[in-house]
Structure 1
Amino acid sequence: MTSLHTTPVRRRRLGVAAAAAGLFATLLMAGPAAATPDPGDAAASRTDVSASQEAEAAAAIRSGEIPGVDEIIHSRNISHLANVPKDALQGLNTDLAFQGKYAFAGNYDGFRIFDISNPKAPRTVAQVLCPGSQNDISVSGNLLFLSTDSSRSDNSCTSTTQPATEKSSWEGMKVFDISDKRNPKYVAAVETACGSHTHTLVPERKNVYVYVSSYSPNETFPDCQPPHDGISVIKVPRKSPEDARIVNFPVLFPDGGNPGGSVNPGVSKTTGCHDITVLPSKDLAAGACMGDGLLFSIKDPENPKIIDRVQDNVNFAFWHSATFNQRADKVVFTDELGGGGAATCNEEIGPKRGADGIYDIVGKGDHRKLVFRSYFKIDRPQADTEVCVAHNGSIIPVKGRDLMVQAWYQGGISVWDFTDSSHPKEIGFFERGPVSTDEVTTAGPWSAYYYNGYIYSNDIAKGFDVLKIDDRRTDPAKQVRTDELNVQTQPDYFDR
């Protein structure tokens, strides 16, 4: 059994500056097929470490500097209420979405639906086998959306892996009817250029627009040809989702985007976007696009318009995701240094890489600009065997403060305050010790989101976690409720 500490056991902290027909789903009766990882959020294969690194990790555990293998620790203001291990779906756990009393959890092998009416005892309602990394997930009304970013033999849920060099291969968006949560039905599929690594919903009354982010074109891939300098926009009619279709492919980088490589060493070449977050109440979107960060208008959802674009060619390797604050005068961008497969929370990497970048939004209308203020990175030491980097998070809705909960893979979950853009600070945390001290293994929270009074996390290896934070700074959020949450479609919590 793992032991529990309610206070930090660290003896030091890192020097981090706070500074359709033929389509069907299979409800699980047997084990799932294997999924194929892709670049960006791909799981690294287990990699042996040197004898000295293994010895250092073991020594750090003995000294209490880091928790033991699978040991759970957390700050006093965090409680760990529940963990639901993986069941039939044994692939990597990925993103989360919420609706009413349900949580929807993506997995490289499909998705799982939990009843979270009792957060201390989440109950599985359904598990759907539908392999295809990433299986990024979101919901709107009776529709569930699932991204496929691995080359498949066809668009069914019984497909197998097939090379992207084959013209008949399929990648893209899948749509399910979830009016019966116990029996989701696969109703539509739309193939998109270079697949769908992530997607973002822009919901309307009659339609749901889907912004599809994908990247890494190749001249040998018939359906993923360079240049790939934009996003696919899909229109899904709510009453006839089988009629879903691509309505635009807006070019976001007419100059080709960040060249990366020899021009900007250590920076990803921009060949598309990794993730987009929209704030529909403000007609705004923020794009994390490999080597570039974007701010754009979505007044016309079929034709997004770029307002500003920024780069950080010193410290940001891979612009991964974005989060607005409630007032829409700040954006937090994350840098997924190492592609989610490397140990980057250590002294060698330092406090500014694999971190968050906090940007103020200044000016008005189409003249608004993104202005860098500071970096934030967890300063709790991690072993060199722990894959750790900034990943998915959400705001905690408190008027007058900018608070966020965020996943850091094996760095665990951080609750932090960026009300002062130039001086962010951590105010709570939860984490497990290393999965292993003799090899680098991808594990830990993929996503950590605040929903209706609780923090929910999808741990890549350990399953679905529920946490509660009790802190005077976050307590007002317990009174805020929303009927649906896709974190990349941020609600306006206070304009209701």
Structure 2
Amino acid sequence: MPTNALARLAAASVLASLVLVAPPASGHGDGDVATNTRGIEVETQGQGKRMEFVANLQYDETGGVQNGSDIEFVRLGRKEYALAGTLRKGMQIIDITKPRNPRKVAVYDCAISQGDIQVWRTGGRVLASYTADGTVRAEGAQSQCGRDLQLEPSDAGTVLVDITSPSNPQSLSFLPVPQGSHNMTLHPSGDYLYNSNSDLYTSGKVPNVTIYDVRNPLDPKKVVDYELPFTPGSLGTESHDITFDSSGDRAYVAALSQTLVLDTSDPRRPELISKIVDPTINVVHQSDPFRVQRPNGTWRELLIITDERAGAAASAECPGGGLHVYDITGKKEQSPEKLGAWFIPAAQVQAGATCTSHVLRIYERQKMMTIAWYAQGVRVLDIAGLATYQGSATDIALGDGIGMKEVGNYVFADSDAWSFKTNKIRRDGSFFGYANDLVRGFDVFRFKGLQDRKVAPLKPKDVAPRKQSQQARALAPLAVLLPAIVVVGLIRRRLRQDG
């Protein structure tokens, strides 16, 4: 943690180099592109801190870049699955019940990009959304989802998929969004999807978030295009990604030049609460809230905003865009207060491969975070110190500081990690983590755990449709017949009495 003047000066010099505007990557029109390179085979030896490499799984046999993007998880009964999105290679459905031996069970053939994923249950079905950022193009229209849903090459939006049987995913419906679906976010009610198109200024459109009612997944209905405030700066003003709080009463919209806090207690009619415009953030990529309990028992509400510097363009240096932390407790929600900025401890020349923060996940109860950093691999952070940290907008940390500490990482020479998450954490903080990598494909790592504290375990939630037990199914006919048997018995008894 930079505490003396010299360290602060060095950190400030790094920060100054990060906010230079570079040409935008193509990622905000049809998915990010791989900037790192690979050999005939992916690397199996890298460098790490309290992490080990466990396994790699390729999406095809080309030997080329695998175009991995988003990743989500679902537990169905006793089985655990990772759903890995790709750029034009379909949704990869991977059995991770045994993390050291991941096994592909199916590919949902949907050659669209960028494949952002959300998962939920509606009645007796388990559903996933799968996004087309930019148009479906000919290959998307000719793949399974295009044929099933009669998509045209010019279509853009989000596909809904039934994954109740993971080995046999089925197309359900298509949500048309002319500006495309860079990301799609499920409201915690499970009834609504909020679209982020992430268009650049060049689109010339009024910035908006399209809201869909998906209570009937076979026939989703558009609710509204919720208009966003126009805020000049960066690459545009459109939403790149949206995160809800656990109650669904708040949405945090990462909108390239700004972060918007919305009241979504009525998810059909959002209302603007506040706006964050931070000149030290080049491209607002993700804005995620979490709560942490102070030693006195009160709760602090925080927001972590990631900077995908230059839209993930090729980098000349690291650490690229970092993590910017805001206090939004109570009345501060109306005027969020910045506590500082955090960067990975890798101030170095990068020589062309992307180096910047990307997809993160916060594990609130465990006070931990995982994040992908493109060519600088995958990272694990301990964020417990944010419960009490008192900072300012000028506070900067490299690896350890502002209440955040990097406790694990792993980097290969050919790393180009888009997302890094886990679905299960043990009491000692250890877990198997899963990366979806543009170059490498599907990677499994094991983080060895925290050295100085225990955490509440994180267990995967079973979203399998409720099924009757074998005994209940056997007794079901009797449940139907029993009332009739009782009535017949009463009639016979009455007849005998009358006779």
TM-score by length of 2: 0.72
Q: 1:232 aligns with which of 189, 200, 210?
A: 210
Query: What does residue range 292-441 of structure 1 map to in structure 2 within 5 Å?
Result: 292-313=258-279, 315-327=280-292, 329-343=301-315, 345-346=317-318, 354-364=321-331, 368-382=334-348, 383-398=350-365, 402-418=367-383, 419-420=385-386, 421=389, 422=391, 423-435=402-414
Of the three residues 46, 50, 56, the one matched with 1:72 is 46
DSSP 3-state at the match of 1:387: coil
C-alpha distance in structure 2 between counterparts of 1:447 and 1:474, whole Å: 27
Please name the residue that 2:108 is paired with: 128
Shift of 1:324: 1.6
Aligned partner of 1:11 in structure 2 is: none
Q: CA RMSD in A?
A: 3.3
Distance, in Å, in 2 between the alignment partners of 1:218 and 1:415 is 34
Matched to 1:96, the amino acid is: I
Which amino acid counterpart does residue 79 of structure 1 have in structure 2? E
Task: Look up the match of 1:62.
Answer: none
**Percent identity of the aligned residues?**
26
User: For the Cα contact (< 8 Å) 1:95–1:105, is it kept in 2?
Assistant: yes
Cα shift at 1:122: 1.1
1:103 partner amino acid: A
Shift of 1:146: 0.5
Report the CA distance shift for 1:88/1:105 in structure 2 as closer, same or farther (over 3 A): farther
Partner of 1:338: helix, strand, or coil? helix
Q: What secondary structure is seen at the aligned counterpart in 2 of 1:242?
A: coil
Could you say what secondary structure the match of 2:422 adopts? strand
The SS at the match of 1:194 is coil
Q: Which residue of 2 aligns with 1:222?
A: none
Q: CA deviation at 1:91?
A: 4.7
Q: How far apart, in 1, do the equivalents of 2:316 and 2:195 lie?
A: 28
Quick one: structure 1 residues 157 and 311, their matched pair in 2 at CA, closer, same or farther if it must change by over 3 Å? Answer: farther
- 2:67–2:438 CA contact under 8 A, matched in 1: yes
Superposed displacement of residue 153, structure 1: 4.5
**What CA deviation, in whole Å up to 9, does each residue of 1:105-154 have, x standing for no partner?**
00012110111111111111111221121111111121110010122357
- Helix, strand or coil for the counterpart of 2:310? helix
Count of aligned positions:
397
- Which of 85, 94, 97 is the matching residue for 2:69? 94
Task: Map residues 173-188 of structure 1 onto 2, 5 A cutoff.
Answer: 173-188=158-173
Letter in 2 for 1:300: D
Structure-2 change in CA distance of 1:459 and 1:212 (3 Å): same
1:144 to 117, 128, 131: 128
CA distance in 1 between partners of 2:212 and 2:437 (Å) = 30
Give me the whole-angstrom Cα distance separating, in 2, the residues matched to 1:398 and 1:45: 34
Residue 386 of structure 1 contacts residue 411 of structure 1 at CA under 8 Å; is this kept in 2?
A: no
Deviation at 1:175, TM superposition (A): 0.3
- Confirm or deny that 1:461 pairs with 2:461: no
Q: Could you tell me which of 24, 28, 39 is aligned with 1:39? A: 28
- State the secondary structure of the residue aligned to 2:187: strand
Hey, what's the Cα distance between the residues in 2 that align with 1:97 and 1:160?
20
- Superposition TM-score, scaled by structure 1 size: 0.72
CA contact (8 A) 1:286 1:293 kept: yes
CA distance change for structure 1 residues 93 and 41 in 2, over 3 Å: closer, same or farther? Answer: same
Corresponding residue of 2:459: 481
2:28 counterpart SS class: coil
More helix, by proportion:
2
Mean Cα deviation higher: 461-470 or 408-417: 461-470
- The residue identity in structure 1 corresponding to 2:381 is W
Partners of 1:197 and 1:244 lie apart in 2 by 19
* Amino acid paired to 1:318: V
Q: Partners in 2 of 1:483 and 1:288 — Cα distance?
A: 27
Larger Rg: 2
What is residue 26 of structure 1 aligned with on the other side? none
> Matched residues in 2 for 1:470 and 1:160: separation?
40
Contact 2:255 2:284 in 1 (8 A): yes
Task: Say which SS state the counterpart of residue 355 (structure 2) adopts.
Answer: coil
Structure 1's unaligned 5+ residue stretches are 1-13, 20-35, 49-67, 162-166, 220-224, 261-266, 436-442, 486-496
- How far residue 44 of structure 1 moved from its aligned partner, in angstroms, is 4.5
- Name 1:108's counterpart in structure 2: 87
Closer, same or farther: CA 71–426 of 1 in aligned 2, 3 Å: farther
Q: Which runs of 5+ in 2 are unaligned?
A: 1-8, 16-24, 147-151, 293-299, 392-401, 426-430, 464-499
Displacement of 1:194? 0.4
Q: Which residue of 1 aligns with 2:450?
A: 472
How far off is 1:375 after superposition? 0.7
| Structure 1 residues 384 and 444: CA distance shift in structure 2, 3 A | same
Contact kept, 8 Å, 2:31 with 2:133, in 1: the verdict is no
- Alpha-carbon separation, structure 2, partners of 1:200 and 1:160: 20
